[in-house]
Amino acid sequence: MRVVIAEDDALLREGLVLLLNTAGIEVTAAVDNATDFRAAVAAERPDAVVVDVRLPPTFTDDGLRAAVEARRLYPGLPVLVLSAFVENSYAAELLADGAGGVGYLLKERVGRVEHFLDSLRRVADGGTAMDPEVISQLLVRRRADDPLSTLTAREREVLGLMAEGHDNSAIAGLLVVSDGAVHKHIRNIFTKLALVGDEGGHRRVLAVLAYLNAAQGS
């Protein structure tokens, strides 16, 4: 896997480079601002990018806006946001194309190296890896015609854990239910969202994106 990193904190940036290289992931560029990030993505055409939200020159949402722009220019570019902040509007825009390959992790809540590496690989493979706090903030506003209104409370709970990137066995463990119960809930979710097919691959991602995109609109 080839990765571009955009992070203005020098220690964290170099730490990420060392971490990824040690894990056998090639870092083709590691930059500290949004302008150089755009140039690096254009030059390197990486398999995934890891980007902070607040980068120079304004230190507001430059990094996330640059990631959204890069994803428009290179459809499906896997983006893993690693930040101390949740920027709702552009986070929702990252999800809007329905292509998957999106993650948003909060720095202070990444407790294990293995978790971060697993999230990056999942995003690079077209999946999702969303921090629960990010999900919570994205879903503060719900539309009156919420497309998920037909889901039960437990089905929403299962779908939220899917958004975090958990597989069926992990969801069963977290909810203290059987694998069969999780399978049934996911099958019901797919049916209610008109996503016909098995539980794997793109349909699973589409269900997650429908869940997260319910935050858009008013």
For residue 144, being part of any structural domain is answered with no
- 29 and 123 fall within a common domain: yes
Domain presence at residue 44: yes
Q: In whole angstroms, what separates CA 7 from the centre of its chain? A: 17
* Total-model pTM: 0.77
Residue that terminates a domain, selected from 138, 173, 195: 138
Evaluate whether residue 175 is within a structural domain.
yes
Domain range enclosing 65: 2-138
Q: What is the mean pLDDT of each run of 10 residues along the chain (218 residues)?
A: 96 95 97 96 97 90 91 92 80 73 88 90 90 74 62 87 86 92 88 66 71 56
Question: What pLDDT does residue 47 have?
Answer: 97
Instruction: Tell me whether residue 111 is exposed, middle or buried, using C-beta atoms within 10 angstroms of its C-beta: 0 to 12, 13 to 18, 19 or more.
Output: exposed
The total number of structural domains that make up the chain: 2
pLDDT at 116: 93
| Residue 24 and residue 86 in one domain | yes
Same domain, 44 and 122: yes
Q: Is position 148 within any domain?
A: no
Same domain, 14 and 116: yes
CATH value at residue 182: 1.10.10.10
pLDDT of residue 52: 94
Distance between CA atoms of residues 139 and 104, nearest Å: 14
Looking at residue 73, its pLDDT comes to 93
CA 36 to mean position of chain CA atoms: 22
E runs forming strands in 13-142 = 26-31, 48-51, 79-83, 102-106, 128-130
Same domain, 34 and 110: yes
Torsion sign, CA atoms 206, 150, 186, 130: positive
Determine the pLDDT at residue 200: 54
